[in-house]
Amino acid sequence: MKFTDKLNHAWQTNNSLLMIGLDPDVNRFPEEVKNNKHAIYDFCVNIIDATAPYACGFKPQIAYFASESAEDQLAGICQYINKNYPHLPIVLDSKRGDIGTTAEHYAKEAFLRYKADAVTVNPYMGLDSIEPYLAWDDKGVIILCRTSNLGGSDLQFAKLEDGTPLYLYVARLVAEKWNPTGQCGLVVGATFPEEIAKVRQVIGDDMPLLIPGIGAQGGDILNTVLAGCNSKTTGVLINSSRAILYASAGTDWREAATKVASSTRDAINEARHSLSLVPALAQT
Q: Binder to ligand OMP among 26, 175, 197, 216 (CB under 6 A)? A: 216
Q: CB under 8 Å to 154, separation ≥6 — which residues?
A: none
Q: Is 219 in the site for ligand OMP (CB under 6 A)?
A: no
In the residue annotation, 34 being an active-site residue is answered as: no
SS3 208: coil
Q: Binder to ligand OMP among 7, 16, 23, 226 (CB under 6 A)? A: 23
SS3 114: coil
Q: Is 21 in the site for ligand OMP (CB under 6 A)?
A: yes
> Residue 61 class from Cβ within 10 Å (0-12 exposed, 13-18 middle, 19+ buried)?
buried
Q: Is 212 in the site for ligand OMP (CB under 6 A)?
A: yes
CB of 180 to ligand OMP, least distance (A): 23
Q: Is 258 in the site for ligand OMP (CB under 6 A)?
A: no
CB of 121 to ligand OMP, least distance (A): 10
Indicate the DSSP class of residue 152.
G
Torsions phi, psi for 192 (to 5 deg): -130, 65
Q: Which is nearer to ligand OMP, 102 or 217 (CB)?
A: 217
Integer Cα distance of 208 and 113 in angstroms? 24
Q: Is 242 in the site for ligand OMP (CB under 6 A)?
A: yes
Per-residue x/- mask for ligand OMP, residues 77 to 116, rule CB under 6 A? ----------------x-----------------------
Half-sphere exposure of 155 (CA within 13 A, CB side): 11
CB of 189 to ligand OMP, least distance (A): 5
Q: Binder to ligand OMP among 73, 156, 181, 239 (CB under 6 A)? A: 239
Q: Which of 2, 34, 95, 259 is catalytic?
A: 95
Q: CB under 8 Å to 159, separation ≥6 — which residues?
A: 165, 166
Cβ proximity of 85 and 48 under 8 Å: yes
Cβ proximity of 23 and 62 under 8 Å: no
Q: Is 4 in the site for ligand OMP (CB under 6 A)?
A: no
Q: Which residues are catalytic?
A: 95
